[in-house]
Every structure is written in structure tokens, then in C-alpha cells.
């Protein structure tokens, strides 16, 4: 102790001096050259900015600082740094930025957990979300997920060319069933239509730079006839419909004693009549569709694309499934633990093209010093998950083996540790999402061959939107055999809720 103390004092003194000097000199992380007032922030493109920022790493490194028009943005391009900030310094890095359009004007910063400020109301939302989809409760929904995967296979058998539409519907069906016990017979189902419309509005509002008012907040005072204000009003109406209608539907079904298993039913069964609790519960439920559907769709669409481009990977996973599951039944979620290669295919799908390349940004609540750089209070912090995804050897190569042949001297972070975000606000739906993907991926691989279109190449292209998924592409999805076709039909007979 006597020996350690002087070193400890010296170490702490040096740390304090370093912090003080950096704070005084305000040594910001590097970034592109800046002009007065507008700074360098307008150099970032309004969509798909993760590509540009990952490119800029060559010049500026793992931390890039952007500023201008009163905004400060730190882009973090490295897994360990994101981990250091969001896990170890969570106290300063768990808040969300102020989105003028989505947060303030559409009022989502008051009711939707992904945009709530870090604080007591967020904690209440998080508790309810955890109640809905913790590792134990999600087991109750495994049959629902497997049934939806079975319907998806049947849809793919009937109209394989509409595979993107079927995948989207499957993702929506799972979340609607888990959240409200509602089965959507097709994409014209009113709950799906309302939800998809509000998601479109929200997708745009969450895309940095899509609305000038997010960069220049004073624009929020423009009159209601200005086009973007009209969009805001329409967006609010859509969100209200999407949030209230399915919740009221469950209440009605419960009053008639016919409500099936669902998160909303569990919540209402708690018997808490406080209107504040009711309002919160309604929003927690509604957010699950927004946060859970497009992300699950994005991952499964990327999976189909990857399979069409990588027939040898596909074949290996099919052989593994046939060996473990046999050919007389369809796979279940429980089989996943026996399917390491197929699970590595899911991991590689999420790494190859992370569904939310910029995650959901955070905001610092205090000044900080990190890695010798000054990070001011109120800086928007963007974890560049795209950069993390490119930090492996041959990043464009789709190679599930990278998770199996583990080189311990150079371990790759498991994508499930970062594609869902990190720290206190890490995605609470990750276990549910992973089960959905297990059901969808094993179901499709066991029943179908996925092939590129005849005499055509597929050039992979992805939407540059906040949730990023493949641009429409063609491929052939064919049952692997007559027996498999028969199996799809017989499995459909077991589905209870259609
Ligand atoms: C493949 C599917 C999914 C992906 C890739 C994904 C990804 C993410 C990411 C990156 C975040 C931001 C986390 C952070 O700030 O560090 C997030 C937040 C969130 N996700 Fe997911 N997600 C998926 C599925 C789901 C599902 C199925 C649900 C619920 C049913 C869900 C509910 C949420 C919620 C409520 C938040 C906000 C958390 C907060 O701010 O406290 N997600 N997700």
C-alpha cells in the first residue's frame, strides 16, 4: 500500500493535469476543414453518410468531429471506443439528441422510448419493455414466431417473386402478434397500413439532414402552411392512429374475454388504472412495431441477398440443418443451439450490412475528455456501426467462418454485441429479434434454394436510409424437393391463428 500510494497520487495528478490541459486548450477531434458559422457539418451527405464517414477515417481516424450552425457531432468509428464511451462512461453518453422534427414537433421525445431523454420517464418505459420481451417471456412467443415462419414459407411457395413483400409482412406479423395478439392476414391489414405509414414518416424524420429544421431549429417556428409543417401534422395524425387503434382493440377483446396472449394483454392485466401508466403502456407497445419490424425485415432481406450471392455458404447451412433436423420436420427455434454454422450465417448477415448503420445517436450531458480530445457537452455522438462492420479482414466477403475459426490473437467482436447498439440503451428487443431471425432463416434454408436470376448478375445495392436494407432485387426461390413442398403444406395445417 505504501509503495502503491505515491504512484497512485502521481497517476491521478497526471490524469487531472491532462484533463485540465485538454479542456483548456479545447483540442477537438479532427475533422474536415471548416468555414466560419457553417463549420464543416454540411460536408456530410444527408443520407448514407456512413459510407462517407468511413472513407474519411483514412484521413481523420477513429474520432471525427463535425460542427456548424450551432451543432456539434462526434462520429466514433471503432468498436472499442464506442464500448468505452457507451458502456464505461454511460453516465455521460446515454441521452438522446434533440430531434427538432421527430422529437419536438412530432412530440416523440415525450412518449417514444428511443427518443426519450435519459431519465426517470425513460426508465419507466424500459421497465415495461423489459416486462414485455425479457429472455423468459419471449419463450412464450416462440411458437408464434415459428408459425409466422411457416406462413412465410407457404407465401414463398405460392409467389416467390414477391419475396420482399412476404418478408416485410412476416416481420410485421411477428411484432403485431407479440404486441397485440393481432394476426395480419395481408399487407392491406389496416394496422399494418397505419404502422407502415407512420414508419415512413418517422424514417424520414430520423434521417440526419432530411429536415433543415433539425440543423437550424429556429425553422420550427415557421407557419403551419409551410410544406414541412404540413408533413409534421400529417405525421402526428398517422402516429396517433398507429398507437391508439391496436391498443383499444386489445382492450375491447379483453372486455369480451377473447384476447389472445400478447404483451398489451399482460400489461392491461396488471390492473393499473392510472391514466399515466395507460398512456405509457400504449406508447411502449406502439414503439415495438416501429423499432422491431423494419429492422427484422432489413436483416432477413439482406440474408436472401447474401444467399443468392453465396451458393456455397447456403449449401453448407442446408446440409447442417438437414443433418440436425432431419428431413421429416421443419426446424424450430430450439434447434438453433445445434446449428453453429447457420447461426454464424445470421451473424455474418448482420455484419455484412448492419441494419442500422448509424445506430441511434446519443448526446453528451457534460464536457468530457476522451483519448486526449475535448468532447463538449451537448455533442451528438454517432456510433458508426458501418465502420465497425468494415473493420474485419476482407469486409465485403460474406464469410460465416470468421465466427467459427476463432483466432484468439485477433478476436472479432460478435455482431450481436454491437449491431443492436451498446450500453444502457442497447436494443431491448434483441432477443426477440434474434429468435425471429432464427425461425425465418432456418425455415427458409431448410425448404428452399435461393438462386440469382437466370443469366443476370445481382449487384448488391442498399437503401441509404436510417434503417438500411437492399434495394429491390430479383432472385429465384425454389422448393428444394417435392418432399419439402409437402412439408411446407403440412406444417401450415398446424398454424393456429390464421
Ligand atoms: C434485427 C433487429 C433489430 C436491430 C438490428 C435493432 C437495432 C437497434 C439499435 C441499433 C438500437 C439503438 C441502441 C442504442 O442506442 O445503443 C435499438 C434500440 C431499440 N430497439 Fe431495436 N433492433 C432490432 C429489433 C428490435 C425489436 C424486435 C424490438 C422490439 C420489439 C426493438 C426495440 C427497440 C427499442 C424500444 C429501442 C430503444 C431503446 C432505448 O432508447 O432505450 N428492436 N435497436
- 182-200 residues labelled b (16+ CB within 10 A) or e (exposed): bbbeeeebebbebbbbbbe
Give me 382's grid cell. 454517432
pTM of the entire structure?
0.92
How many A from CA of 2 to the centre of ligand 1? 49
Alpha-carbon distance 242 to 247, whole Å?
A: 9
Question: Tell me, what's the pLDDT at 498?
Answer: 62
Give 32's DSSP letter: S
Binding site: residue ranges? 427
Alpha-carbon distance 134 to 429, whole Å?
A: 8
| Cβ atoms within 10 Å of 44's Cβ, excluding its own | 20
Place of cell 399487407: 187
Give 491's DSSP letter: H
pLDDT digits (tens, 9 = 90+) for 349-389: 999 999 999 999 999 999 999 999 999 999 999 999 999 99
pLDDT digits (tens, 9 = 90+) for 438-453: 999 999 999 999 999 9
Torsions phi, psi for 454 (to 5 deg): -65, 135
By alpha-carbon position, which residue is closest to atom 31 of ligand 1?
429
How many A from CA of 290 to the centre of ligand 1? 9
Binding site for heme: residue ranges? 427
Could you tell me the pLDDT band of residue 16, with boundaries at 50, 70 and 90? Answer: very low
Closest ligand 1 atom, residue 175 Cα: 30
Closest ligand 1 atom, residue 433 Cα: 27
CA atoms within 13 A on the CB side of 124: 14
What's the N-to-C CA distance of the chain in angstroms?
A: 70
Question: Could you tell which of 108, 266, 427 is best to mutate to test the pocket of ligand 1, judged by most ligand atoms within 8 Å of the CB?
Answer: 427
How many A from CA of 330 to the centre of ligand 1? 29
Closest ligand 1 atom, residue 298 Cα: 1
Could you tell me the pLDDT band of residue 327, with boundaries at 50, 70 and 90? Answer: confident
DSSP per residue, 194-261: HHHHHHHHHHHHHSTTSSHHHHSGGGGGS-TTSHHHHHHHHHHHHHHHHHHHHHHHHHHHHHTT-PPS
Question: Which residues form the pocket of ligand 1, taking CB atoms under 6 Å from any ligand atom?
Answer: 113-114, 126, 129, 133, 175, 287-288, 291-292, 295-296, 299, 355-356, 359-360, 419-422, 425-429, 432-433
Alpha-carbon distance 287 to 116, whole Å?
A: 12
Alpha-carbon distance 282 to 261, whole Å?
A: 16
Closest ligand 1 atom, residue 96 Cα: 40
Select the more confidently predicted residue: 134 or 4. 134
Closest ligand 1 atom, residue 355 Cα: 5
How many A from CA of 294 to the centre of ligand 1? 11
By alpha-carbon position, which residue is closest to atom 19 of ligand 1?
427
The mean of the pLDDT values for the chain is 92
Question: Tell me, what's the pLDDT at 408?
Answer: 59
| Cβ atoms within 10 Å of 456's Cβ, excluding its own | 10
CATH of 4-493, one of 3.20.20.80, 1.10.1300.10, 1.10.630.10, 1.10.3720.10: 1.10.630.10
How many A from CA of 343 to the centre of ligand 1? 20
% of the chain residues with pLDDT over 90: 81
Amino acid at each position: 500500500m505504501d509503495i502503491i500510494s505515491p504512484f497512485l497520487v502521481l497517476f491521478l495528478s497526471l490524469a487531472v493535469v491532462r484533463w485540465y490541459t485538454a479542456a483548456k486548450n479545447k483540442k477537438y477531434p479532427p475533422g474536415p476543414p471548416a468555414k466560419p458559422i457553417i463549420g464543416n457539418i454540411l460536408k456530410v451527405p444527408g443520407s448514407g453518410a456512413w459510407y462517407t464517414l468511413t472513407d474519411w477515417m483514412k484521413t481523420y481516424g477513429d474520432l471525427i468531429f463535425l460542427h456548424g450552425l450551432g451543432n456539434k457531432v462526434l462520429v466514433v468509428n471503432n468498436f472499442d471506443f464506442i464500448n468505452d464511451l457507451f458502456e464505461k462512461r454511460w453516465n455521460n453518453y446515454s441521452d438522446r439528441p434533440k430531434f427538432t422534427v421527430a422529437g419536438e414537433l412530432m412530440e416523440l421525445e415525450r412518449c417514444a422510448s428511443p427518443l426519450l431523454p435519459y431519465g426517470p420517464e425513460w426508465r419507466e418505459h424500459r421497465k415495461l419493455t423489459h416486462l414485455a420481451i425479457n429472455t423468459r417471456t419471449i419463450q412464450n412467443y416462440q411458437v408464434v414466431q415459428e408459425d409466422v415462419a411457416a406462413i412465410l414459407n407457404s407465401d414463398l411457395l405460392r409467389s416467390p417473386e414477391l419475396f420482399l413483400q412476404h418478408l416485410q409482412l412476416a416481420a410485421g406479423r411477428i411484432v403485431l402478434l407479440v404486441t397485440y395478439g393481432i394476426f395480419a392476414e395481408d399487407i392491406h391489414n389496416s394496422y399494418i397500413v397505419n404502422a407502415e405509414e407512420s414508419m415512413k414518416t418517422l424514417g424520414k424524420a430520423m434521417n440526419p439532414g432530411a429536415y433543415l429544421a433539425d440543423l437550424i431549429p429556429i425553422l420550427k417556428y415557421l407557419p403551419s402552411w409551410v410544406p414541412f409543417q404540413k408533413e409534421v401534422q400529417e405525421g402526428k395524425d398517422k402516429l396517433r392512429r398507429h398507437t391508439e387503434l391496436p391498443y383499444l382493440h386489445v382492450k375491447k377483446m379483453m372486455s369480451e374475454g377473447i384476447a389472445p396472449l400478447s404483451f398489451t394483454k399482460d400489461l392491461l392485466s396488471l390492473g393499473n388504472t392510472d391514466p399515466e401508466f395507460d398512456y405509457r403502456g400504449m406508447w411502449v407497445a406502439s414503439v415495438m412495431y416501429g423499432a422491431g419490424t423494419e429492422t427484422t425485415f432489413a436483416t432477413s432481406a439482406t440474408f436472401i441477398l447474401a444467399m443468392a450471392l453465396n451458393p456455397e455458404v447456403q449449401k453448407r447451412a442446408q446440409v447442417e440443418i438437414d443433418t440436425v433436423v432431419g428431413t421429416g420436420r421443419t426446424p424450430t427455434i430450439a434447434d438453433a443451439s445445434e446449428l453453429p454454422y447457420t447461426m454464424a450465417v445470421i451473424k455474418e448477415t448482420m455484419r455484412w450490412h448492419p441494419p442500422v448503420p448509424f445506430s441511434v445517436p446519443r448526446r453528451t450531458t457534460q464536457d468530457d475528455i476522451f483519448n486526449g480530445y475535448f468532447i463538449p457537452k451537448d455533442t451528438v455522438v454517432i456510433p458508426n456501426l458501418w465502420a465497425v462492420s468494415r473493420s474485419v479482414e476482407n469486409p465485403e466477403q460474406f464469410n460465416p467462418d470468421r465466427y467459427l475459426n476463432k483466432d484468439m490473437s485477433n478476436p472479432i467482436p460478435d455482431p450481436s454485441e454491437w449491431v443492436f447498439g451498446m450500453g444502457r440503451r442497447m436494443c431491448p428487443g434483441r432477443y426477440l429479434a434474434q429468435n425471429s431471425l432464427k425461425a425465418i432463416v432456418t425455415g427458409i434454408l431448410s425448404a428452399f434454394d435461393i438462386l440469382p436470376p437466370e443469366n443476370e448478375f445481382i449487384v448488391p445495392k442498399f437503401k441509404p436510409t436510417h434503417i438500411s436494407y437492399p434495394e429491390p432485387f430479383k432472385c429465384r426461390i425454389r422448393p428444394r424437393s417435392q418432399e419439402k413442398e409437402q412439408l411446407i403444406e403440412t406444417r401450415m395445417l398446424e398454424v393456429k391463428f390464421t
